[in-house]
Chain A
Amino acid sequence: MEGLDLGAMFLQFLLLWFLAIGGPSTIFPDIHRYVVEAHHLLTGEQFAEIYTVAQVAPGPNAMYVTLIGWYLAGWKGVIATTIPLLIPASTLTMLVGHLNERYPDAPIFRAIRRGLMPITIGLVFASATILMRTVNHNWRGYLITLVTVAVVLRKPWNPLWLFAGGALAGILGFV
């Protein structure tokens, strides 16, 4: 934990988030490199545990950076690691959102939205299959995933019940 410089970490994270086109997963390796390899603030094992906890917590998956901040320096650390993730969204995104609302029929915006929509769907489908292969270790895991898909597409039930069911199946040793 020696050599913790919150200001430098803030700037480094800020730079990374401005480069994170396509989402948090694109800069995951760089955050790992900074925190674990370059500055030895956390061990690789601690980093992995923090990441897992944040995946389970409700909210965007990027919140693992918040938890890293908390482990390193309490609430000050939370600020140093979380504010950088907000800055691109509150500057660049706001500007683009403004232009898009102002000129919704501009041909260039229309072409971008129409043209890239299918790519978005392909990318989300890719994430879904990667996640499915990462978390499911046997046919029973895949069965839970497929049952979830079938239920969500056919029933208006609150999917939190599915999570409860998944947790129960895990505890009973089904997966």
Chain B
Amino acid sequence: MLNQTLAQQSSHKTAVTQLQLFIAFSRISLSSFGGAIFWTRRELIERQRWLTERDFLEIYTVGQLLPGPNVLNLTVMVGYRFAGWSGAASAVAGFLGWPCLVVVGMGILYQNYGRLPYVQQALGGMSSVAAGLLLATVIKLASVLPRQWRPWLFGVLAFIGVGVMRWPLLWVMAALAPWAVFAAWKYE
């Protein structure tokens, strides 16, 4: 009992039900054109206000260390944080259930209509928008970083390794992560 009260005080969690999780993650997955992270951030931080920018970035970071789609890992952890095992299951059902049906539907449509030239042209324009959404997301998330040189240095090195040199992600992480964690441990 005492433990429970302490836990509630320290985390300030909003009460969120399984149904709310299912609906929120359904909305995320059904609007996730061109990558899910933009829409997940928008729903959880700006619309529902369940998480702060920093909470979101922390959970996403942990999700990135684990195998599988990063946003799926985030879905599991957010669902679990607010409503335990069943919350995680509800969030995942919303996040993966609809896309499963929709992607099959689109596969059938594509087999019939995909080679029409204007479909290809529309897809071209939409891809440019998708790239913009991802850029905007990273700009918003970067506002959380402290104004110190060390975190930014690790961020820039990770960008150069993967984005410019195109080295495999696993190598870049293996080279940078231990130093980054050690520095955070030692100096913060």
- Looking at chain A, what size class is its interface with the partner chain? 35 or more
Report whether A170 and B103 are in contact in the complex, using a CB–CB cutoff of 8 Å. Answer: no
Nearest-CB distance from A141 to chain B (Å)? 5
A3-11, A32-40, A156-164: which lies at the interface = A156-164
Is residue A43 contacting chain B, with contact meaning CB distance below 8 A? no
A57, A82, A85: the one within 8 Å of B68 (CB):
A85
Which secondary structure dominates where chain A touches chain B?
helix
Report whether A67 and B107 are in contact in the complex, using a CB–CB cutoff of 8 Å. Answer: yes
A96, A114, A165, A166: the one within 8 Å of B188 (CB):
A114
Nearest-CB distance from B61 to chain A (Å)? 5
Q: With the chains together, A118 CA to B68 CA distance in Å?
A: 20
Nearest-CB distance from A113 to chain B (Å)? 5
Report whether B102 and A123 are in contact in the complex, using a CB–CB cutoff of 8 Å. Answer: no
Report whether A82 and B100 are in contact in the complex, using a CB–CB cutoff of 8 Å. Answer: yes
Interface residues of B in 48-79 (CB under 8 A from A): 57-58, 60-73, 75-77
Q: With the chains together, A130 CA to B179 CA distance in Å?
A: 25
Contact with B along A104-136 (1 / 0, CB 8 A): 100110111111111111111111111110011
Interface residues of B in 94-122 (CB under 8 A from A): 95-96, 98-100, 102-104, 106-107, 110, 114, 118, 121-122
Which secondary structure dominates where chain B touches chain A?
helix
Across the interface, which residues of B come within 8 angstroms of A170, CB to CB? 118, 121-126
Report whether A175 and B77 are in contact in the complex, using a CB–CB cutoff of 8 Å. Answer: no
Across the interface, which residues of B come within 8 angstroms of A100, CB to CB? 62, 77
Nearest-CB distance from B88 to chain A (Å)? 6
Nearest-CB distance from A77 to chain B (Å)? 10
Is residue A61 contacting chain B, with contact meaning CB distance below 8 A? yes
Which residues of A line the B interface, CB within 8 A? 17-26, 49-50, 52-64, 66-67, 70-71, 78, 82, 85-86, 88-90, 92-94, 96-98, 100-101, 104, 107-108, 110-132, 135-137, 141-142, 144-149, 152-153, 159-160, 162-163, 165-171, 173-175
Give me 18 A-to-B residue pairs in the complex whose CB atoms sit less than 8 angstroms apart, sorted by A's number: A22-B169, A53-B114, A59-B32, A59-B100, A66-B100, A97-B62, A97-B81, A97-B88, A111-B181, A122-B155, A122-B157, A123-B159, A125-B142, A128-B138, A144-B129, A145-B132, A162-B133, A163-B33
Which residues of B line the A interface, CB within 8 A? 10-11, 29-38, 42, 57-58, 60-73, 75-77, 80-81, 85, 88, 92, 95-96, 98-100, 102-104, 106-107, 110, 114, 118, 121-142, 144-145, 151-152, 154-159, 161-164, 168-170, 173, 176-177, 180-185, 188
